[in-house]
Amino acid sequence: MLSAPDFKQKKIIVALLSYDEKMSFKNDNIVITDKTGIKHQSSCYRLFAVFIVGHATITTGLLQRAKKFGFSIVLLSHGLIPYGSWLAKAEGNVLLRKKQYSYQGMDIAQHIVHNKIDQQIKALKHLRTKTAPLKQAINQLLEYQNRLPNATLDMHEILGIEGIASRVYFTQMFNEMQWKGRKPRAKQDITNLLLDIGYTQLFHFIDALLNLYGFDTYQGVYHQLFYQRKSLVCDLVEPFRIIIDKRVRKAYKLGQIHEEDFSFINGQYRLFGKQSQLYTTFLLKSLLNHKAEIFLYVQSYYRAFMQNKPMEKYPIFVGEG
């Protein structure tokens, strides 16, 4: 399996093929060009994933290279909505999947939610303006965090704690951005759209990592099983959402978000064309700044799960402080 030192050398690239960019292969290198010439070139040996935006022709040569060099391909529409993927994966890890299907506990779920709330608390504590509502929100989150772990809680109660904590957190995290509530995929405002884009990048990154170990990504430990939902990916995304949240807030503070870059169609905000490149790039870079930590988290999760380790041995995302 891929080691941590090897993973540090891996790259994730985004190809905007519908906007004057072309992707090709030369020997064992991927080359992306535009009207000005070569925009990006790297060895297939160093690729971890390629995000392809817009219309593209997927050839057998591309799929063969992805299989040979072990990199994943994620396809996205003009509006940055994912519609397909070709994932590098470890096949035949039967023992792992048997453990997944037989696991019935809620201790891992509580561990994940506890870690997520901890990151939310840290994020709010780092906000510069210490208002009374902010201090109250932090105290509320500490109270919700202290309810976990608790062996008497059922799944609905854990979901309730996470849901209430998230509402408290988002209200303070984005209170200066005319926050109206977290509405996944509704794209009712620019903030929710950018969160969706960043969370999607995070989702596919963790999905690709889980596949390296042979997990059944549809078999979760927290999110309920649902047809065609990769519940385990949804589970392990939770502690890392804070990376995207903080970057979106920072973008507002730096003046990097401009309403004229967005289209408003049928009651939803959308990003199209070259305007999308700035946003996808700074969100992806924020994610890649933590790629080693995320890799080690998934690796440690795999080892803890396979070896039936106690919960204190399961990984925790520490973040930036």
Angle, to 10 degrees, between the axis of helix 291-306 and the axis of helix 94-102?
A: 80
Question: 155-202: per-residue pLDDT in tens?
Answer: 999 999 999 999 999 999 999 888 888 988 788 899 999 999 999 999
User: 237, 208 in Cβ contact below 8 A?
Assistant: no
b/e 115-137 (16+ beta carbons within 10 angstroms → b): bbbbbbbbbbeebeeeeeebeeb
Which one-letter DSSP state was computed for residue 128? Answer: S
Question: 131-141: per-residue pLDDT in tens?
Answer: 999 999 999 99
* Range 289-304 average pLDDT: 95
pTM of the full structure: 0.88
> What pLDDT is recorded for position 192?
94
User: 162, 116 in Cβ contact below 8 A?
Assistant: yes
SS3 153: coil
> What pLDDT is recorded for position 320?
67
Q: Which CATH class is domain 4-86?
A: alpha beta
Instruction: Provide the percentage of residues in the chain whose pLDDT is more than 70.
Output: 98
**Alpha helix (H) residue ranges in the chain:** 4-8, 60-69, 94-102, 107-125, 132-145, 155-173, 190-213, 231-237, 241-253, 275-288, 291-306
- How, if at all, do strands 22-26 and 29-34 pair? antiparallel
Q: In the chain, where does the domain assigned CATH 1.20.120.920 lie?
A: 94-313
* Contacts of residue 116, Cβ cutoff 8 Å, sequence gap at least 6: 162, 165, 238, 239, 241, 242
Question: 55-91: per-residue pLDDT in tens?
Answer: 777 778 888 888 888 888 888 877 677 788 888 888 8
Output the six-digit token pair for 191.
Answer: 């903030």
Distance CA 73, CA 59 (A): 12
Output the six-digit token pair for 58.
Answer: 């997927």
Q: In the chain, where does the domain assigned CATH 3.100.10.20 lie?
A: 4-86
CATH topology of domain 94-313: Four Helix Bundle (Hemerythrin (Met), subunit A) (1.20.120)
* Range 11-21 average pLDDT: 74
> What pLDDT is recorded for position 75?
86
